[in-house]
Chains A and B, each alone.
Chain A
Amino acid sequence: MNPEPTESPEEEQEAQGRPIGRRVLLGTLGLGALGVVSAPVLQKGMDGFLGAVSGKDPTGLTGLLPNGGGFRYYSVTASVPNRNAQNYRLTVDGLVDRPATYTLADLRAMPQTRLVKDVQCVTGWRVPGTPFEGVRLSRLLDAAGVRAKAGAVRFTCFDGAYTESLTLDQARRSDILVALRMQDKPLGHDHGGPVRLYVAPMYFYKSAKWLSGITVTEDVKPGYWEDRGYDVDAWVGKSNGRDDDPTS
């Protein structure tokens, strides 16, 4: 590979000097390890700081920083169809006495509940005090008349791939909404609009975007990310090996 003879001036030069390069390399590795060990403390400080700064940042640049105090867009499919007031439908079926299909107008005409809580993603980011508004899931279940042998609720989405599920007891909690509004605005497409699930006490992957179907079933069937290793009972702070402060 090297045509030069062994006694080339290059190789004589090479032996001189102190091995500082190696120290830079090992030092970088050490800092990385130290970063992993001290991450919980660093992250708390960083989140607090960025959360405060991003509120007053007109450029929006802080949103690009890791955990920069905003939402991140995750979609598991290549593209998601748009649904609007004309063509959006939510079906409720399965082990119910009165299966139903709701339009956006139907849902808007029902009593609305507004909750303001933190949003916690299982990958670490947290968005404080985010208002969600919509119809309580328990109200839709009651309207459909859940049969006695039912034990769980399964959610499907019009992106064609995402699924989620809750036990019937979880689904009847008062802090679980079929959300139509977020941050006091109608839910946009990127945030899962026009209608998404909002499961306040659990990690945000439970809050399925682009909700199109609610099916009452006997048993819980793990959802999309749960088939890929996430916990089914995704209580914030008590699952997925994390210790975040509870959100609800």
Chain B
Amino acid sequence: MTLRAEAHAPATEPSSRVRRFGRTDRWVHRTTAALMGICVATAACLYIPEFAELVGRRQLVVRIHELAGVALPVPVLFGLFSRGFRVNLGFLNRFGPHDRVWVRGALLRDKRRSARPADKFNAGQKIYANWIAGASLVMLGTGLMMWFTHLTPIMWRTSATFVHDWLALTIGIVLGGHIGMALGDPEARAGLRTGKVSREWAKREHPLWKP
């Protein structure tokens, strides 16, 4: 990590690293990622025949999946106690005129830096964060309908299963994109690991962000 950072900016001093995420932000991300990982892994063992044959134990796998799913929103709820975390949620919520430019640039595959203006989070990150939050809540709602079948008319269970199945597939693909982009940007990963990023990276990737 440090080697890579030095390759970008040989003169990087500790002071030229800027603070991007607080401790709460990082722990919320870590625990949410772990819970989401459990949800995806157990889902694979329930849906994909090859994994289902390998693992069996259907009731146990279902129980782990249910518990991880219900726990998924908990880290974010805890994060709300932190002012820094709430400020970041504010950034993810608010879209400025430059975000429209970013979206257009992304749709036209325009890779020039001027086509991708961004503040602390770019428009893609904002849309992803809000979509995955909404999608997770839909998964939670439909999941609860499948779990506690006596709470809703049983007819709804089939409908809930249908939405749960297709949204699971969609989340799998989008989550793959999220992880793929993180793998392609070591400095972004360092930001979530250590809380700090190089000033040069911040200028390049988030020119409108004033840390």
Contacts and interface: CB of A to CB of B under 8 A. Distances in A.
Nearest to B159: A39
Interface in B131-167: 131, 133-135, 137-138, 141-142, 145, 149, 153-163, 165-167
B57 interface: yes
B178 to A, nearest CB: 15
A148 interface: no
A121 B169 CA distance: 20
Nearest to B164: A66
Contacts of B126: 20-21, 24
Interface in A112-138: 123-124
Contacts, number: 167
A100 interface: no
Count chain B CB atoms within 10 A of each CB in A9, A39, A124, A242 and give the residue with the most: A39
Nearest to A47: B162
B72 interface: no
Contacts of B90: 14-15
A76 interface: yes
Interface in B103-138: 119-120, 126-127, 129-131, 133-135, 137-138
B134 A28 contact: yes
Contacts of B53: 73, 75, 190
A14 B91 contact: yes
A65 B169 contact: yes
- B-side interface mostly: helix
B157 A24 contact: no
B94 A15 contact: yes
B95 interface: yes
A125 B159 CA distance: 12
B58 A75 contact: yes
B49 interface: yes
Given A21-B94, A29-B134, A32-B163, A78 B158 contact: no
A56 to B, nearest CB: 20
Contacts of B83: 1-2
A73 B49 contact: yes
Contact of A17 (B22, B52, B95, B168): B95
A24 B162 contact: no
Given A36-B142, A75-B56, A76-B59, A25 B130 contact: yes
Contacts of A75: 52-53, 56, 58
Count chain B CB atoms within 10 A of each CB in A40, A63, A66 and give the residue with the most: A66
Interface in A43-100: 43, 63-67, 71-80
A2 B82 contact: yes
A225 B120 CA distance: 51
B159 A2 contact: no
A27 interface: yes
B210 interface: yes
Contact of A66 (B129, B149, B156, B169): B169
Nearest to B155: A241
B85 interface: yes
Interface string A225-240: 0000100000000001
**Closest CB pairs A-B (n = 3):** A28-B134, A241-B154, A32-B138
Interface of B: 22-24, 47-49, 52-53, 55-59, 81-85, 87, 90-96, 99, 119-120, 126-127, 129-131, 133-135, 137-138, 141-142, 145, 149, 153-163, 165-169, 209-211
Interface of A: 1-2, 9-11, 13-22, 24-29, 31-33, 35-37, 39-40, 42-43, 63-67, 71-80, 123-124, 190, 229, 240-243
Given A35-B163, A37-B159, 10 more contacts: A10-B87, A13-B120, A14-B94, A16-B94, A18-B95, A22-B93, A25-B133, A32-B135, A76-B57, A190-B53
